[in-house]
Structure 1
Amino acid sequence: MTITQQRHLESACATAEVHWRRWTVDMQVIVTDPGCLAEARLTVDTELDAVEAAASRFRADSEISALAASSGQPTEVSELLAEMLGAALQAARHTDGDVDPTIGAAVIALGDDRDDIALDSPVPLATSVTRPATWSMVHIDHRTVTVPAGVVLDLGATAKALAADRCAARVHAATGSGVLINLGGDIATAGSAPEGGWPVLVHDGDDEPASLVALCSGAAMATSSTVRRTWRRGGQRLHHILDPRTGASADPVWRTVTVTAASCLAANTVSTAAIIRGRRAPDWIRHQSIAARLVDCDGIVHTLGGWPDDAMCRPR
């Protein structure tokens, strides 16, 4: 998990922060103008309310649940959901289908069918699901979306990252403050960073290998993990990142993959695809011209693209 560490700031009085839990993850907002913290938190909550109403497959009244019941008919959606679906399809294109939003039925069949699933919670065996479609069969025309009958969309691989980007932009626009948004390891920033950058401690846990970086203004980071959001089925430990081609949890070659990029959405797209690609991931990431940190199943750290130097702020 990636958690910002406020205590590493040399001048704590120059910033203010708030922590809370939502969507079963730790969330955090840090602003460089302490006087606007309450407004920043309200702005973030308002944005997350809208994201949940649009894209939560755990809510029967969400727009994405309505799409699942549309029987393949063209359906008009909100601008927000259209943007989120467009982002998910772009991620699928960029990753050659490794990140595919049409995996919802497979995710549910594996037991990830509720928002509050507990670590190592047992779930009953389910029959395998034959996926009736792939991402290329989902069509968007402005705000009109057509999803093949029987397809359940799951935007979990991109929605939270896009929400982090949107929250950072909205807080900065509303307050003028520099801001860092951390939605369970999906980190986005906007506005001016504190002197020396935004300090971020990257690690899986207190006893795990750690790396401290300082994100520049406007930089983003995402971590994808096979050791978070796990459960057991039939004696097998499963996790929430599925290989679209098999409908099963991706082989846990990597415990975590952390990526820095110009947006959280871009970082999360690469980190999620890296988990799915397994041993093929390093060569693919090298061609992305980004910095990344991968921790393998034995706890050995692998760094690419100049990590951590290329993930850090440099004097200008």
Structure 2
Amino acid sequence: MTTASIALDHRGVSPDAHPGSKSATLGADSIAHRTPADSGQDARRRTGDDRTVATAASSFRALGTYVELRVAEVADSIDPTATARVEHLAREILAEVDATCSRFRVDSDLTRANRAAGTWVEVSPILVGMVQAALWAAGETDGLVDPCLGELLVAAGYDRTFAELQSTTEPTQLPAQRDRSAWRDLHVAPGRIRVPHGSALDLGAVGKGYAADLVALSIIERYAVPAVISVGGDVRVAEVPGIPMSWPVRIAPDLAALGDDAVAADIDLTTGAIATSSITARRWVRGGTQWHHVIDPRTARPTGGRWRSVTALAPSCAAANTYATAGLVLGEQAVPWFAAQGIPARLVGADGGIVTSPAWEFGVGERDTVMGGRAC
């Protein structure tokens, strides 16, 4: 399987692109609350040009998280075999992503490359593409989103899947010194990568988003049907030219907050992607210190608690994830950074207050009107 061409930069996003996101649910009759047995035809609606479409939904688990998929056809009813084929394709791609890019699998290409840090290692095209996306993320954020934080996360106890992770009183043995520019020595070539000596890759800042991008672009290439996919709440639209679609999405800092109208928002996603980075879900205690999975590479410690979550819009999910993670790392400086970069972003503070960037305020159609940086 080859990787698709994934647009990363936020520039060129249509001002009327409407996002939706993590945690995120798709539609008022959200498939996040369905079981796999509920999959199948569930709704009839209309395209942007008023043609009748049928939609079908399915949900399953992959990459250690939940996956939601909604497929549409311009018809009065949807072909269930078509939906099954699209879901099979999504499962196949996500399984390959897990097999090659997981930091927690001893047999993955990523694990092999980390073990052989300092030397070139032959890897799958998917991992090459994901590392390229991670390098773009590091360059775009001047190292705030750093793919070479694997050794810090392992030292902090995040050396297994989060479902297996346990809090412990064992002390955290962090490196005495760390080269913040190590990511600049991460090299990629066709079919191979070279991890910097003394470093280990963790691709969590782009991983699920990149996987969602691969699925969406593969659906378009293989079946040419409109669809939307959420991988752990990171949402990407599969757009088909000539069939304008609007996908209702509810965004919130985490799953527990989906029903909290004070911090959640309902948005229509028509193009591109939306992703949320949050510090509320993946947390653990080691050596008396509370950790979460978003590390500030400047301090080698978890990011501060200014923001509970940051949501960002971009043409690709990998880029949206990059911007959302950078927002958490930047803390108070995230607001002027998003404004200067022209990135649509929505930030939920630790106190529940909501701040939005100018690009979000004027380009995003929240159903609860956003004014003055606050949800009203």
Q: Could you tell me which residue of structure 2 aligns to residue 200 of structure 1?
A: 249
Q: In structure 2, do the counterparts of structure 1 residues 64 and 119 end up closer, same or farther at CA, with 3 Å as the change threshold?
A: closer
Paired residue for 2:206?
158
In the other structure, the counterpart of 1:285 is 338
Query: Mean Cα displacement is larger for which, 108-117 or 127-136?
Result: 127-136
1:56 aligned partner = 102
Q: Are residues 1:245 and 2:285 paired?
A: no
Q: Kindly tell me: are residues 180 and 71 of structure 1, through their superposed partners in 2, closer, same or farther at Cα, counting changes over 3 Å?
A: closer
For 1:243, give the aligned amino acid. D
TM-score (norm: length of structure 1): 0.91
Q: For the Cα contact (< 8 Å) 2:63–2:95, is it kept in 1?
A: no
1:136-215 pair list within 5 angstroms: 136-192=184-240, 197-204=246-253, 205=257, 206-207=259-260, 209-215=263-269
Q: What's 1:25 paired with?
A: 65
In the TM superposition, 1:39-188 aligns within 5 A as: 39-117=85-163, 121-122=167-168, 124-129=170-175, 130-131=177-178, 134-188=182-236
Amino acid at match of 1:281: A
Match in the other structure for 1:3: 24
Q: Assess if the C-alpha contact under 8 Å between 1:293 and 1:304 holds in 2.
A: yes
Query: Could you give the per-residue CA deviations for residues 259-315 of structure 1, whole angstroms, max 9, x where no partner exists?
Result: 1111111111110111011111111111222211100110101111343652349xx
- SS of the aligned residue for 2:162 comes to coil
Q: Per-residue CA shift, 1:180-211, capped at 9, x if unaligned? A: 01001211111249876111111131235111
User: CA offsets per residue over residues 98-140 of structure 1, 9 Å max, x none?
Assistant: 0111100001111111113468844632211243562101112
Distance 1:108 1:71 in 2: 15
Matched-pair contact (CA < 8 Å) for 1:55–1:64: yes
Gaps of 5+ in 1: none
Dislocated runs of 4+, deviation >4 Å? 192-196
Moved more, 139-148 or 219-228: 139-148
TM-score for the superposition, normalised by structure 2? 0.77
Given that residues 66 and 231 in structure 2 are in contact (C-alpha distance below 8 angstroms), is that contact kept between their aligned partners in structure 1?
yes
In the superposition, relative to structure 1, how do residues 260 and 71 fare at CA in structure 2: closer, same or farther (>3 Å)? Answer: closer
Task: Say whether 1:232 aligns with 2:291.
Answer: no
Q: Report the alpha carbon displacement of residue 223 of structure 1 after superposing the two structures with TM.
A: 0.3
Contact 2:224/2:240 (8 A) holds in 1: no
- In the comparison of the two structures, how many residue pairs are matched? 312
Percentage identity across paired residues of the two chains: 35
Structure-1 separation of matches of 2:25 and 2:112:
36
Q: Answer whether contact 1:102 1:153 (CA < 8 A) is retained.
A: yes
Q: Judge conservation of contact 2:27–2:250 (CA < 8 Å) in 1.
A: no
Unpaired runs of at least 5, structure 2:
1-21, 31-41, 45-53, 367-376
Change (3 A) 1:301 1:78: same
Contact conserved, 2:155 with 2:174, CA < 8 A, in 1?
yes
**Within 1, Cα distance between the matches of 2:165 and 2:193?**
35
Write the letter of the residue equivalent to 1:134: A
More moved, 129-138 vs 145-154:
129-138
For 2:155 and 2:288, locate their aligned partners in 1 and report how far apart those are by CA, in whole Å. 16
Larger radius of gyration: 2
* More RCO (CA 8 Å, sep 6+): 2
Supply the distance in 1 between the matched residues of 2:230 and 2:166 (Cα, whole angstroms). 25
Cα separation, 2, equivalents of 1:79 and 1:118: 29
Task: Please provide the CA RMSD for this pair.
Answer: 2.4
Matches within 5 A, 1:213-224: 213-216=267-270, 218-224=271-277
Partner of 1:238, secondary structure, is strand
SS in 2 for 1:257: strand
**Matches of 1:143 and 1:77, distance apart in 2:** 6
The 1:74/1:195 distance shift into structure 2, 3 A limit, reads closer
Q: Judging changes above 3 Å, is the alpha-carbon distance between structure 1 residues 120 and 210 closer, same or farther for their aligned structure 2 residues?
A: farther
Q: Tell me the SS of whatever aligns to 1:251.
A: coil
CA contact (8 A) 1:119 1:230 kept: no
1:6 and 1:12 in contact (8 A); partners too: no
Counterparts of 2:124 and 2:169, CA distance in 1:
34
8 Å CA contact 1:97–1:244 kept in 2: the answer is: yes
Q: Relative to structure 1, is the Cα distance of residues 175 and 141 closer, same or farther in structure 2, using a 3 angstrom cutoff?
A: closer
